[in-house]
Structure 1
Amino acid sequence: MSPTALLVPTFTQMLQSLSAWLDKAAAHEQASGAEPDDVLTKRLAADMFALAAQVRFTAFQAQEPVYRLRGDALPESLLDVRRAGWNADATPSSLRDAQTCIADARAFLAGLAPHALDEGAERPIALELPDGAVFDMTGEQYLRDWALPQFYFHAIAAYAILRNHGVALGKPDYVSHMFAYLRPGTMPQDR
């Protein structure tokens, strides 16, 4: 499977799910009498980023590999998404902002040509982390060992924060894209 064929649908599907989770979170907050945007301040542990940051990091991680595989520098607008994640505790945010961030990432992915990333599989990637660590790998190694795990880490953190906060999410919400493949008549409630 080519890098483009793997990443674009994978990231797009999970971003769609993340958007739906936030819709459920807003409804949950309203039903409980809370301000819907307050859910963005929730976190799993004191030393973890809050939901607002996890959403931004998920959107960032969906776009970063495109630039790395093409050999392009990350644009300032994408770096702003990452900075907004780092500063989410200090900068007020809203569910509308979070949904816009997700929608922008989805639109970016939708605009890619069918084989946009494929030539980057063998490209040398130097991944420099903010703490100074540098990892040297091929594009394929970067996708497998960094891009996909990082993306899913932040998406799953967002899911876990919402579940922990009482939002009614379950496995069908996490893998909602699978229902496109469901054999008719095989859902347990259909039997």
Structure 2
Amino acid sequence: MSYAHSARTTFANMLGTLDHLVSKTQDAGMTDEVLGEKLTEDMFPLELQFRVALNQVLLALNQVAGKSLPLEEVTYQSLAEIRERIAVVRSHIDRSDAIEWADANDPVDLTLPNGVRFMMSSVEDIQDWIMPNFYFHVTMTYVLLRNAGLNIGKMDFLPFMARHRVVADQ
């Protein structure tokens, strides 16, 4: 399995997690005010956790899949808008073909907004930069929603695992 195939599958699964979490938030009757939730004063609010998670997927597609997709820069105003943006990013993943991704050893030159520069291979970019950041921000959305009172558990973080569940004979 190529790194591209693996990354695409992981992105699809975890974008599904984000959508599931937003759906549960809406179903629980939580308002858009939840988007301002933080654990500490110096951390990103929930809205920005969603936005940065989606941007990790877009960065991956731009850096190694030959895309030129704009990053999510405008503050999300509602849970409904977040679901729409997740759907758009999911469609970009669905339309990206693993065979179009850069070779695993092709170089990626990444300079952060603070000027820190990294040189690495395409596979290292995905495994060492993109995926850890993506998971971090997806996890923060889960934590912030749970802290805000949403009744969620581990399987809400891994809803895609339901397809692998084995049901015992009764």
Task: Tell me the TM-score normalized by structure 1.
Answer: 0.82
Q: Which amino acid aligns with 1:146?
A: W
- Displacement over 3 Å in runs of 4+: none
TM-superposed CA distance for 1:27, in Å, is 2.6
TM-superposed CA distance for 1:71, in Å, is 5.1
- Equivalent residue, structure 1, for 2:54: 59
State yes or no: 1:38 paired with 2:33.
yes
Output the CA distance in 2 between the equivalents of 1:25 and 1:124. Answer: 40
Aligned residues: 170
TM-superposed CA distance for 1:116, in Å, is 2.5
Task: Give per-residue Cα distances to partners, 1:26-63, cap 9 Å, x unaligned.
Answer: 233x2xxx6x1111111121111111111111111112
Output the CA distance in 1 between the equivalents of 2:142 and 2:99. Answer: 31
RMSD: 1.7
Q: Is the contact made by 1:127 and 1:136 (CA closer than 8 Å) also made in structure 2?
A: yes
TM-superposed CA distance for 1:184, in Å, is 2.0
Among candidates 94, 97, 109, match of residue 81 of structure 2: 97
- Equivalent residue, structure 2, for 1:121: 104
Q: Is the contact made by 1:41 and 1:52 (CA closer than 8 Å) also made in structure 2?
A: yes
Task: Tell me the TM-score normalized by structure 2.
Answer: 0.92
State yes or no: 1:158 paired with 2:141.
yes
Q: Structure 1: 5+ residue runs without aligned partners? A: none
Q: Which amino acid aligns with 1:58?
A: A
TM-superposed CA distance for 1:159, in Å, is 0.5
Q: Which amino acid aligns with 1:125?
A: V
Higher helix proportion:
1
Q: Structure 2: 5+ residue runs without aligned partners? A: none
Q: Is the contact made by 2:32 and 2:78 (CA closer than 8 Å) also made in structure 1?
A: yes
State yes or no: 1:133 paired with 2:116.
yes
